[in-house]
Every structure is written in structure tokens, then in C-alpha cells.
């Protein structure tokens, strides 16, 4: 599976955090893996590990987002946009193998696919605030 496909699957799983209680997450992860097209074991492990890592850091990530944006706190953002920003922020700050420009570009691509017409520009603007920090 390509990095883009893996990222998209992580996004889809991460999106579920907004709608399910913490104790339901293991069941949701299992259902997600079963409902997806066949996924190789290595890819499934990557998706699960990345998802769980980001999920644990959501309070920290949201705090950083809220500290850097004005008028658009995480509580006011669309669930899709917020999920994409969280994923990209994680890649920019916690994954040294992904250059910031790639994380931002991939976030914009996710926004084009899953977000509103305004999502790509909004997400690009929010993530640009973190581009020079690493």
C-alpha cells in the first residue's frame, strides 16, 4: 500500500475518534480493518500504530493548534478539517521521515478529497504556521 493510501486509512480511523467513546475505539479499529479492502499485515500494523500514537497525542496537538490559530479554535473547526490537521501536525512534529512540505501537501490532498471547497486553503493556512517549527 502506498504512503498516501496508508495516510488516508489513518485519517479514516482517526475521524472515528470524534464520534465514539474511548472504550469503543478497539472495537472500531477492529471493524475498520475488517471492513477495509484486504490489508497486508505490515500495513495494518502501521495504520493501527499511527492511529493510536496520534490518538494519544490529541490533547497536546489540539493545544498547539489552539495556541497558533486565531478565531478558529479546534472546537469550531469541521471534524474533517480538524482530523486532517491533527494527522498532518503529527507528521510534521513527530515523524522525522516526512518533510513538512510533504505533510502539508498530503493534508491538502486529503482536504480536496474529504473536505469542503474551503478546506484545502484553510488547512494549508493552519499548517503553514507550523512549517518552520520542527
> How far apart (Å, rounded) are the C-alpha atoms in residues 132 and 31?
38
User: Residue 123 falls within a domain, yes or no?
Assistant: yes
% of the chain with per-residue pLDDT over 90 = 68
User: Residue 94 falls within a domain, yes or no?
Assistant: yes
pLDDT above 60: residue 60? yes
User: Residue 19 falls within a domain, yes or no?
Assistant: yes
CATH of the domain at 119: 1.10.940.10
pLDDT of residue 133: 52
DSSP label at residue 70: S
pTM of the shown model: 0.91
Number of domains in the chain: 1
% of the chain with per-residue pLDDT over 70 = 98
User: Residue 20 falls within a domain, yes or no?
Assistant: yes
User: Residue 104 falls within a domain, yes or no?
Assistant: yes
Residue 92 near residue 103, CB atoms below 8 Å: yes
User: Residue 59 falls within a domain, yes or no?
Assistant: yes
For residue 65, give its domain range. Answer: 3-128
pLDDT band at 36 (very low <50, low <70, confident <90, very high): confident
User: Residue 134 falls within a domain, yes or no?
Assistant: no
How would DSSP label each residue in 92-116?
Answer: HHH-TTS-HHHHHHHHHHHHHHHS-
3-state secondary structure of 119: helix
Choose the weakest-confidence range: 33-37, 99-103, 116-120: 33-37
User: Residue 133 falls within a domain, yes or no?
Assistant: no
- The pLDDT of 88-101, averaged and rounded, is 95
Amino acid at each position: 500500500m502506498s504512503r498516501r493510501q496508508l495516510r488516508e486509512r489513518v485519517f479514516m480511523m482517526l475521524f472515528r475518534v470524534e464520534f465514539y467513546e474511548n472504550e469503543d475505539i478497539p472495537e472500531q479499529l477492529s471493524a475498520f480493518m475488517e471492513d477495509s479492502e484486504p490489508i497486508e499485515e505490515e500495513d495494518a500494523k502501521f495504520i493501527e500504530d499511527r492511529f493510536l500514537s496520534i490518538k494519544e497525542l490529541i490533547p497536546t496537538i489540539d493545544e498547539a493548534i489552539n495556541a497558533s490559530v486565531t478565531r478558529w479554535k479546534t472546537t469550531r473547526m469541521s471534524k474533517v478539517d480538524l482530523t486532517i490537521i491533527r494527522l498532518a501536525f503529527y507528521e510534521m512534529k513527530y515523524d522525522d521521515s516526512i518533510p513538512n512540505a510533504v505533510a502539508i501537501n498530503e493534508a491538502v490532498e486529503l482536504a480536496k478529497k474529504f473536505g469542503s471547497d474551503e478546506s484545502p486553503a484553510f488547512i494549508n493556512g493552519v499548517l503553514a504556521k507550523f512549517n518552520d517549527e520542527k
